[in-house]
Amino acid sequence: MPSYAVTGTSRGLGLEFVKQLSLAPSNTVFALVRNPSSATSLNQLAAQHPNLHIIQADITDPQSLVAAAAQISSSTNGTLDVLINNAVSTNTAVAPLLPSQIPLDVAGTQDFFKAATDSALYGAIWTTNAFLPLIEKGNAKKIVHISTGIADPKVIKGTGIANVVDYAVAKGAMNVLVAKYAAELEPKGIKVVAISPGWVDTWEGEKPAEVGEFIRFTLEHFRKLWPDLKGQLTPEESVKMVLEVVEALSPEQTGFMVSHHGDENWI
């Protein structure tokens, strides 16, 4: 009976991960979410699937992750097969800014990167370390961090997308962290990988004008590298492909960022 823990499951990709994983009755799925009481869609899903369990955890709070790991351990006899770290936070106010617009003061720069680094970098460390004792005793021994193709310097140069600095830099740092963990854990048979899920439409409800404009801007720039690109993937499409990559994960892929195709095609 494979066991999975997924972070950031209240909406978007995280919700879709636990939705697809819980469809198989043989899977035991733990959905980590910061505020379970307000995660309406997740609670509705859990009511339909007895193999889906909601666990309170905040990836920016190490002790909450330790408590979550202990709670899961008590249900799985101390093991976990696959950890999927999906949760991330960003400061939407700084997304349009270019690197030359990062303020020339310590507090301002720290604030610029805080939300992204606290979740994508520090959160990746704390989540991995909290669950590592369980992964070591699992059968699959896989740790997956959801990353992004826009952290690839080739994509940044090729598309000319100079904004969204905080998110791209934090995910780029996380990719290096993945390689470091892989170097340490490969002798134990543990695979650690970063996976870009593609360009996915995770917006819920009607899109505000500024969101629509950002999507048009991104599509225009992405077409410099991928001229035939039509638009975004749905969460269902993306997660299905990512889970196929996770299932087939090879020793050669550990330590690297791969796409939802299992290669370096980020779209």
In what helix (H) or strand (E) does residue 117 lie, and over which residues does it extend?
none
Q: Is 181 a catalytic residue?
A: no
Q: Is 240 a catalytic residue?
A: no
What's the half-sphere exposure (Cβ side, CA atoms, 13 Å) at 177?
22
- Written as six digits, the tokens of 228 are 């035939």
Catalytic residue among 171, 181, 188, 207: 171
Catalytic residue among 4, 167, 181, 191: 167
CB within 8 A of 195, min separation 6: which ones?
A: 144, 145, 146, 147, 242, 245, 246, 257, 258, 259, 260
- Three-state SS string over 139-157 comes to CCCEEEEECCHHHCHHHHH
Rounded Cα distance, 122 and 53, in Å: 25
Catalytic residues, by residue number, are 167, 171
